[in-house]
Amino acid sequence: MRKLLGLFVLLGTVLIACTARETLSPSEPVHTPTVVSTQTEAATQAPMSEATPVEVIPTDTPVPPPPTPTTLPTPTPLPTATPAPTSADKEAQAPTPSPTAAPASLVTDVMIEIPAGLFVMGSDGDDPEDAPAHQVDLPAYEIDKFEVTNVDFGAFVQATGYVTDAEQAGKKSWRDSFGEGQANHPVVRVTWNDAVAYCTWLDKRLPSEAEWEKAARGTEGYRYPWGNEWDPAKANTKAAGLRGTAAVGSYGAGASPYGVEDMAGNVWEWTADWYQAYPGNSVADAYYGETCRVTRGGGWFDNEPQATTFNRNCAEPTKTAIDELGFRCARSK
């Protein structure tokens, strides 16, 4: 698996940069637990919080157009400010409070209920950190059908004045990846802190790692959201050739058994949990502990192994803000 993420610890003036986690190529997944990979083939030493744009390799065939996305509900426009009343206005009528829209009315708020019960989490015979396969019993919960979009995150920022970690650090932020025609693309370049702030605004939260995996694979223990056979047409991964994000819901045929979309590819997704070994796993990993938060699902630059429902990754929660990492929200029942 490919560690997406940057682990940055400031000790005096020493910066520990992320390096590649496997020997396949600078951008490919690796199985050595003590190093991390970089974002692109062109910049193998770039910290993940400062991702370098992907180098486009010319091909003999044109880049395929993105698939038609699922039609999303149109968010209610943000309320506009009302001019302050003049003294004449105040005399003409009694003052009334300005209407306040509920946060959920400003964003695409489509959630899917995941029923209570057991499911198989993890996998034997794949990356060491994914093992062992074990049963987990979860109460019922809800999870967003789609990844949080640029327009949704923009509504949050406009309503609250929130400034992301990347913006505060003077780095590339979600605004730099919000181009024309990308309102319904997943928001990226947001840290774990930013994702938590957004979810909290909606009285939601990030899904736990177990909740994310159950929503992705169902109770049959699927290897991919749609089943056990890899199909590159059902996810926006490197094989799709888009070289960037797609509008959420563009790969409806790749939905999970519960109907949750884009659980494989498009962007990696933050979860609530620290990156820890599963019970019964004695294989050491330098990133286990309370330094990195788990990310799941693989992104548009990744290959099939990273798109499995059980593949685990992690990222430093306050600094990692890259162009293939986003999130979705969950809510307890």
CATH code of the domain covering residue 136: 3.90.1580.10
| Domains contained in the chain, number | 1
124 within domain boundaries:
yes
Whether 12 is covered by a domain: the verdict is no
Residue 16 belongs to a domain:
no
Would 200 be classed as within a structural domain? Answer: yes
Q: In Å, what is the CA distance from 40 to each residue of 13, 44, 287?
A: 26, 7, 21
Contacts of 91 (CB under 8 A, 6+ apart): none
- Specify if 190 maps to a domain: yes
Residue at 254 is within a domain? yes
Q: Quick one: average pLDDT of 318-329?
A: 98
Residue 3 has what pLDDT? Answer: 56
pLDDT of residue 309: 98
Range of the domain at 264: 49-54+104-332
pTM reported for the whole predicted model: 0.74
Residue at 213 is within a domain: yes
For the chain, what percent of residues have pLDDT higher than 70? 68
pLDDT digits (tens, 9 = 90+) for 61-93: 444 556 766 655 544 443 333 334 444 443 333
